[in-house]
Amino acid sequence: MADMCRDWLLCLLAIVFIVQHLFDEAQIIADNVGPPVTRQQWQYLYRLGLDIRNSLSNVSYVLVTYLLTY
């Protein structure tokens, strides 16, 4: 029974991941957001990534596959 629940949970997480990814992609297109061009934009995104990583230091579980797509 535990394996079945784990499998259903993984399927549900995969579905949530796919829907969230598609929504994020559509939102980026709708907002007309392009890739960073200037050095300042890249540095801002890099620092933002560091801040996000540091804010997650107390979290015991993260759905890493979601973060890997970006």
Q: What is the per-residue pLDDT across 8-65, written as a single tens digit (0 to 9) for each?
A: 777 888 888 888 889 988 888 888 877 788 999 899 989 988 998 888 777 766 565 5
pLDDT at res. 15: 86
- Taking CA atoms, 9 is separated from 2, 14, 22, in Å, by 10, 9, 20
pLDDT at res. 40: 93
pLDDT at res. 39: 93
This prediction has a pTM of 0.48
pLDDT at res. 60: 67
